[in-house]
Structure 1
């Protein structure tokens, strides 16, 4: 549980790095996963390649290790594209609907039990995100296509969470993270080269933001989440990650001077209450 919360906080800080990045959104997404390979590989080398799981043996094992990275690449690509096609409020709100898809897929595909109390907690937390983003009126002003792409991003992030959850019963955290991160970088690079003119940051500050995004939000946050998924159900884990917009709002207030209003504070409190209810369920 502690690792899951740490992961949610680390990823919640990613909008700050993205906002301050000096390259385009797709290039930022590429460096997020590409640079994250450095601490992951270094950590593996420091352990002398020691892992607490078995090695992949069949082609299907390698395919399963690559699958989360494909989901993550599509999620990041769709998320950044939606930001350019609809309002930030719409894109953020709809992309945070991943827990709904995780819960539905867990029940439909794996027959995972879902208690009534958990559903109440899920609904409460989603309602909190709606309030946090300004209420139902925040949907006005967005393009329908951009909104739909944001929902696609949420669906693929749900696929990422589910794929990681299934892999954790067979492979260790470090092995999963290296394979999924590398495959995500390979998938995002061609999208970046086709859509953006600049790949490299023009200054040391720009590289510092990219390194912070890669080391803190991805290598730190995703590793913590992957570790937690060995011990917690994917549906509950994805619900706890609704903390991310709460953390992002708090960090934007403290670091970027973007004030948190009364409605945002109420929304954040509702999210926390929903998570506590779901935890009881």
Structure 2
């Protein structure tokens, strides 16, 4: 039995501010990722090539970030376990990027984003079965609500209402989701051994190498052939990767992988709204209701 604490309310107030800041950081990173599909659509290179440029554009910023972190004293030790986790993060993220980018050529942006953001299913189950990280009832409830919202968002695609895309594209997006789930778990483990900047830098180098090999093997066009193409791949690197993945990696140091991954359903809603505004893919009322369910799931994660 622990002794009561008179200063508990004050401590709770002080702890709330950093927690809120980390949650907003996580949500901002997820929002930046939500535009990645738009940038890939606007690029005039292959899916693996788009992933390669995404990493290459981000590397200078990530290098500067890592250099700034090294100036701080008492940085966590890396160790062999940390290097393995970072390498796995880079490889799994490379697979995720290639599969997701490829799915955009065979299915709608909404389908690719929604199916690609089913990663919370893999993260929660993987963390539970492999790492013994048993999710709370609130997290499980938020997970079911998020999945229900994703189903409602994608349901009109399978009921004859403006059905576009193929099962092959949907399968690629689902494979991307499982790869991203593995990436989240690997980053969560890597952050126990290294700073966020170092994790992002090394994993991005590995991801870039994987994407380049895949692009060469698939015979893709690697160099953008227009100003729009260059601007699109630059935005992929700076917005979706540096801000998106960087902020998520930073916040994973404070949030558990299960809670953080649930917020990753947010990019699906961002992608649907962006597709509506830019490509004219107007969501149906059912999809709008699914978006509300996703927002509710985000609030549940915040309180959990």
Q: Please, what TM-score do these two structures have when normalized by structure 1?
A: 0.89
Instruction: Work out whether residues 134 and 264 of structure 1, in 8 Å CA contact, stay in contact via their aligned partners in 2.
Output: yes
* Bigger CA radius of gyration: 2
Name the structure 1 match of 2:63: 41
Residue by residue, what CA displacement relative to the aligned partner does 1:90-132 show, whole Å, maximum 9, x if unpaired?
4433222110010001111121122223222111111111212
Name the structure 2 match of 1:226: 249
Residues 204 and 147 (structure 1 numbering): CA distance in 2 closer, same or farther, change over 3 Å?
A: closer
CA distance in 2, matches of 1:178, 1:15: 22
Cα displacement (A) at 1:77: 1.9
CA distance in 2, matches of 1:89, 1:44: 35
Name the structure 2 match of 1:25: 47
CA distance in 1, matches of 2:79, 2:187: 18
Residue by residue, what CA displacement relative to the aligned partner does 1:56-82 show, whole Å, maximum 9, x if unpaired?
344x44222211000101112222334
Name the structure 1 match of 2:127: 106
Residue by residue, what CA displacement relative to the aligned partner does 1:16-52 show, whole Å, maximum 9, x if unpaired?
211111212221111111211121113334x284256
Name the structure 1 match of 2:16: none
Name the structure 2 match of 1:67: 88
Residue by residue, what CA displacement relative to the aligned partner does 1:244-275 show, whole Å, maximum 9, x if unpaired?
01111222333444434433322111111122
Instruction: Work out whether residues 77 and 193 of structure 2, in 8 Å CA contact, stay in contact via their aligned partners in 1.
Output: no
Establish whether residue 192 from structure 1 lines up as the match of residue 193 from structure 2: no
Q: Secondary structure at the match of 1:242?
A: helix
Q: Please, what TM-score do these two structures have when normalized by structure 2?
A: 0.83
More displaced 10-residue stretch of structure 1: 129-138 or 16-25: 129-138
CA distance in 1, matches of 2:247, 2:219: 31
CA distance in 2, matches of 1:193, 1:33: 16
CA distance in 1, matches of 2:54, 2:36: 9
Structure 2 residues not aligned, in runs of 5+: 1-22
Name the structure 1 match of 2:143: 122
Residues 202 and 279 (structure 1 numbering): CA distance in 2 closer, same or farther, change over 3 Å?
A: same
